[in-house]
């Protein structure tokens, strides 16, 4: 199998994150952490050996009430021992992985049997307003597009990563956060403070003309402004849940192994495909 393509520059990502540490903006991380915390409560299990993968691990450990969690940078090779943890959380960093399946597979190997994997990452609808405004502004001003926008997966394809990595009982669900800003430049400042600006290998290597940003700001306001004049910014987060395989886990039935007809279970007459009601 050929290696995955190298889309992101890990050295540039590290520099952007280091810059963001000087002026951190963490409201989205805290919001996502609250959602993950609710999922952990629903599991109703005590985790005694958790690990958290990604930047600002101390923030996640505090928000998730996981004191003593092992904090692991999201490098290509994760610093995790086999079967050392009963919970592994990939904390809002998987969207920057050049090999997301490899990241999840490493997390699975670090889980004990029946251990839980939780991953959160930005997905398809994230910053759709800003992306549209910038794309049209570049076309208007420069006559073409540069590869400034990172590709983002859709929920269905992201859920498939869990099975490819060998996790059982996979579930993917989406969260949407709608944030408003007075102008696009305040949004861009927040993205820099989150360490979430572009780090694509094939990025534009020269400064973007100011005219592009001015045009983007005008298009953003023209197309998306709310009645009060503020500008919306969409953030879509997909949460991935899976379990390390274990003998005692529930397993789906084989096709054709059901002993009760669905119609009998629902208490309704059975009809053949294409048969009209009452036929």
Q: Phi then psi for 244, rounded to 5 degrees?
A: -65, 130
Q: Model-level pTM?
A: 0.86
Which residue's structure tokens are 């990939």?
90
Q: Percent of the chain scored above 90 by pLDDT?
A: 75
Residue 251 has pLDDT above 80, yes or no: no
For residue 275, being part of any structural domain is answered with no
pLDDT confidence band for 271 (50 / 70 / 90) = low
Q: Residue 108 is part of a domain; what is its CATH number?
A: 3.40.50.150
Q: What's the residue count for the chain?
A: 279
Residue 260 has pLDDT above 80, yes or no: no
For the segment 67-125, what is each residue's pLDDT rounded down to a tens digit?
999 999 999 999 999 999 999 999 999 999 999 999 999 999 999 999 999 999 999 99
Range from 33-47, 54-68, 134-148, 183-197 carrying the lowest mean pLDDT: 134-148
For residue 263, being part of any structural domain is answered with no
For residue 2, being part of any structural domain is answered with no
Q: What is the pLDDT of residue 151?
A: 76
Q: What is the pLDDT of residue 69?
A: 97
Domain tally, the chain: 1
What gap in Å lies between CA 244 and CA 101, rounded to an integer? 15
- Looking from the CA of 159 toward its CB, the CA atoms found within 13 Å total 9
For residue 254, being part of any structural domain is answered with no
For residue 251, being part of any structural domain is answered with no
Q: Which domain holds residue 92?
A: 10-246
User: What's the mean pLDDT in 21-32?
Assistant: 92
Strand pairing report for 231-243 and 70-72:
unpaired
3-state secondary structure of 246: coil
For residue 23, being part of any structural domain is answered with yes
DSSP-derived secondary structure letter, 165: T
Q: Would you call 135 exposed, middle or buried from its count of C-beta atoms within 10 A (0-12, 13-18, 19+)?
A: middle
What gap in Å lies between CA 22 and CA 226, rounded to an integer? 32
For residue 259, being part of any structural domain is answered with no
**Helix-strand-coil percent breakdown of the chain, rounded to 5?**
40, 20, 40
User: What's the mean pLDDT in 245-266?
Assistant: 66
For residue 151, being part of any structural domain is answered with yes
Which residue's structure tokens are 């959380």?
89
């Amino acid at each position: 199998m050929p290696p995955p393509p190298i889309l992101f520059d890990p050295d540039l990502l590290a520099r952007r994150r280091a810059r963001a540490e000087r002026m951190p903006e963490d409201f989205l991380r805290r919001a996502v952490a609250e959602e993950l915390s609710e999922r952990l409560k629903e599991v109703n299990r005590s985790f005694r050996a958790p690990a958290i993968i990604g930047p600002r691990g101390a923030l996640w450990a505090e928000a998730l009430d996981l004191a003593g969690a092992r904090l692991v940078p999201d490098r290509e090779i994760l610093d995790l021992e086999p079967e050392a943890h009963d919970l592994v959380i990939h904390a809002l960093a998987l969207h920057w992985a050049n090999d997301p399946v490899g990241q999840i597979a490493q997390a699975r190997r670090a889980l004990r049997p029946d251990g839980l994997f939780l991953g959160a990452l930005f997905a398809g609808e994230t910053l759709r307003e800003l992306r549209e405004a910038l794309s049209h502004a570049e076309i208007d001003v420069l006559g073409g597009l540069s590869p400034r926008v990172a590709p983002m997966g859709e929920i269905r394809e992201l859920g498939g990563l869990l099975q490819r990595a060998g996790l059982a009982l996979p579930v993917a669900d989406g969260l949407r956060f709608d944030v408003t800003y007075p102008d696009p430049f305040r949004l861009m400042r927040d993205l820099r403070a989150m360490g979430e600006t572009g780090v694509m290998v094939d990025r534009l290597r020269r400064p973007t003309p100011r005219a592009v940003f001015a045009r983007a700001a005008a298009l953003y306001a023209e197309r998306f402004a709310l009645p009060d004049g503020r500008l919306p910014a969409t953030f879509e987060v997909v949460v991935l849940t899976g379990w390390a395989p274990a003998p005692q886990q529930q397993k789906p039935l084989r096709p054709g192994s059901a002993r009760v007809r669905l119609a009998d279970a629902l208490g309704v007459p059975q009809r053949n495909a294409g048969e009209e009601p009452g036929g």
